[in-house]
Structure 1
Amino acid sequence: MEYSTKMSRISDNVSVPPSRKLTKFLILFDNTNLLFFPGQFLTGRVLVELEDETPVLGLFFHVVGEGVVRVLKKGRERHSDRENYIDFRMRLLGEPGQSPVLLSPGIHSFPFKLGLPLGLPSTFLGKHGWVQYYCKAAFREPNGLLHKNQQVFIVMNPIDLNLEPPILAQPFHCEIEHRLGVGCFTSGHVACRVRLDRGGYVPGETISVWASVVNQSRSTIKRTKASLTETIQYMARNRVVQTELRELAALTRGKIKPNETDDWKNEQLYVPPLPPTNLRGCHLIRIQYDIFFQIEPKGVDRPIKLQLPIMLATYPLRGADGTLRRKRGAQYPATLPIFRPWVEEKTIE
């Protein structure tokens, strides 16, 4: 499965301050699609093009990986927190306390190589926080002139269902019995049992839902609904400061009269193409996926909700021989987005 980097550049190489001598100052990665996995090497070069002979005090290179949470209220910062995953500095040219190095006119290339640590959280862009990786370069002249540049890169830490606990490949269920009404004014019970075919999926697959809703009350059930939701929690100072809840897919069925039963038999919820979201290693942003089964009675009774947590992974299950255990009806997408195109959409309150 490939990843689409169409939206991957948060910012490209920034412009160089005007200089009669320095005409080009770029950070170039060997991997031009800017997508890297934990454990891979980040390799490339800093390119400097000069018109004239130029003395240089140093060429500095800095690789940064960070998680940030910023919650604003009325334009002002209300909550914030930050943590670092990579903070690697190196000097590509010059020595501390030494005389300037004289560079001749023309193009100069300074290579860099860094092994990315294992366990890095994936790049993530949200409304109230982000996980971001980037390189910074600084070119310092003896006259005090400092040229800076920056280039973002993408880290993708995939989730392989085959490496997760086997229980995720097994069916699981949830059940509840709920009394409608308040105090002495009850109208009877509603019993519900929901089952999913397993606990782990990948984009393009469908989630099979079985359910039995027994209305043993005198009230009519207006409708039942199964939905796939994404919950994002933003943390600052070890507490949740903002939550986003988004519905990704849903199925609904109609009314259930008193003393009637409605059975869901292998109803299919489609998992849309979602960005891989392995934020293990990040302590500021949590992402959770759930199937919510909701029963909505008529009248003043609140909806009855059953919550079944699931995992959405990157790589699907395979058989003992290594072949793909293709789920019936699955249409695995050829590419997955890096970022969420709906970041600016209004979320569920």
Structure 2
Amino acid sequence: MGLKECEIIFDNPYNTYYVGQTVNGKVEITLDSPKKIRGILIKFKGEATVQWVIEESKTNNEGKTENERIELIGEEEYFRIQYYCLGGKDNEATELPSGKHIYPFTCVLPPTLPSSFEGQYGHVRYTVKVVLDRPWKFDQETKAAFTVLSPFDLNMNPSLKDPVKITLEKFFCCCWCKSGPLTCVVSIPKSGYVPGEIVPVIAEVDNISNVEILNVNFQFQKVVSYYSQFPRRETKKDVIVLERIQVGPVAGHDSKTWNQPLQLPPLPPSNLMNCSIIDLDYELLIEVNVSGFHSNLTSKIPITVGTVAIISGPTAPPSGDNVVINMNMNGQDYNAPQMGWVGVPSQSKFSAESIYDKEDNQYTRFSSNNQQYTPMYPMYNFSNAVAQQN
């Protein structure tokens, strides 16, 4: 049979790297019988792809209206590196004996890469592929993906430290009468956060009208914009609700105030810098739902998500909370990228087995007393998508 197993193992148990860092790892090839190959090729690739289908009505030559399906596509390639770790394209075939063979690989990531991203209509993805170059036969391939983070320091934009306050106001008319106003003031202490931080949302409602407020909804949502290039330029927006809070009701001629904490889940940073076919934004949608046939009040507060927390301000984490994660794997220590953890304990050394939750398929931090923490950045599971591409 020859090839029994080919496994790609990264030096970082998270398979996660910052731009500019060096990706190191090894390829473990297990053969159950000798195998002839010309060489072992390593291919690194970073790319973004968007794709969706639309339908348009067109009139044919007979004057009949037909629906035509158009596939819209956008593609970008950020880097491509390949080399032989054994043999070469022009080499003569060599025979590998049966057993396990280990070959190291390395790649320095360019400093201007966008962060990894997975969405419904597109992705930014980084992969390494191992190709067994076989003479006069089809090549055998194995592919694995890794996550790349592009640092986003919120402190570089001073306006993100400023408090944000919006006011929604409405007067209601009934026949010839005009009631007092309904006023809703929503405020947050700043507009820049890292995942894991808590956004204290303060809502003050003063209802001088005769109309009852059924509820006030707060939705923290991710807004992804995809841009196609072929056969023409089109834009598709996808809005995903991440967290939802509802308060109320408020009767007529009544007032209420709420302080609702909203904790940000694991998220990629805003903007996806250096990617021109995918934009990523976050916002807090406020909707005041009123009774009767009156229109509701709505507004939005833009939220910027970064990887480095604001170091000053009412909700900034205390110094020392952002730590470099030190992991132990197979008896060796590995320093993972500094990922902007919020409110983590001082202990940072733990085994790789203790941070992977197989049921939830994500990495999770545990302190010494088994208190659970959510990771700052999603560790994408690429296995299915990568398998489909092979």
Alignment TM-score, normalising by the size of structure 1? 0.75
State the partner residue of 2:135.
Answer: 142
Q: Residues 209-248 of structure 1 correspond to what in structure 2 (within 5 A)?
A: 209-237=201-229, 238-248=233-243
State the partner residue of 1:45.
Answer: 26
Give the whole-Å Cα distance in 1 for the aligned partners of 2:173 and 2:380.
41
- 1:324 maps to a residue whose letter is S
The farther-off stretch of 31-40 and 274-283 is 274-283
Q: CA deviation at 1:297?
A: 2.0
Give the whole-Å Cα distance in 1 for the aligned partners of 2:156 and 2:256.
31
- 1:143-188 deviation per Cα after TM superposition (whole angstroms, max 9, x unaligned): 2331111112122334343x33122222121224434459988656
Asked whether 1:154 is paired with 2:194, we answer no
Aligned length: 312
State the partner residue of 2:49.
Answer: 68
Asked whether 1:334 is paired with 2:373, we answer yes
- Preserved CA contact (<8 Å) 2:217 2:244: no
1:184–1:287 distance in 2 versus 1, CA, 3 Å: farther
State the partner residue of 1:308.
Answer: 301
Cα-Cα RMSD: 3.5
Secondary structure at the aligned position of 2:160 is classed as helix
Ranked by relative contact order (alpha carbons within 8 Å, sequence separation 6 or more), the top structure is: 1
- Preserved CA contact (<8 Å) 1:275 1:339: no
Q: CA deviation at 1:204?
A: 3.6
- Preserved CA contact (<8 Å) 2:40 2:85: yes
Q: Residues 208-287 of structure 1 correspond to what in structure 2 (within 5 A)?
A: 208-237=200-229, 238-257=233-252, 260=253, 262-264=255-257, 267-278=259-270, 279-287=272-280
Q: CA deviation at 1:192?
A: 3.5
1:182–1:154 distance in 2 versus 1, CA, 3 Å: farther
Segments of structure 2 that go 5 or more residues without pairing to the other structure are 56-68, 322-341, 345-371, 382-390
Q: Which runs of 4+ in 1 moved over 6 A?
A: 182-186
Give the whole-Å Cα distance in 2 for the aligned partners of 1:340 and 1:200.
24
- 1:102-143 deviation per Cα after TM superposition (whole angstroms, max 9, x unaligned): 244254443321111223222222222222211112122222
- Preserved CA contact (<8 Å) 1:180 1:217: yes
Give the whole-Å Cα distance in 2 for the aligned partners of 1:247 and 1:35.
23
State the partner residue of 2:290.
Answer: 297
Give the whole-Å Cα distance in 2 for the aligned partners of 1:207 and 1:57.
57
Q: Residues 85-96 of structure 1 correspond to what in structure 2 (within 5 A)?
A: 85-96=78-89
Q: Residues 313-328 of structure 1 correspond to what in structure 2 (within 5 A)?
A: 313-318=306-311, 323-324=318-319
- Preserved CA contact (<8 Å) 1:316 1:325: no
State the partner residue of 2:186.
Answer: 194
Q: Among the aligned pairs, what percent are the same residue?
A: 23
Alignment TM-score, normalising by the size of structure 2? 0.68
Q: CA deviation at 1:41?
A: 0.5
- 1:291-319 deviation per Cα after TM superposition (whole angstroms, max 9, x unaligned): 22222222222211121111233443335
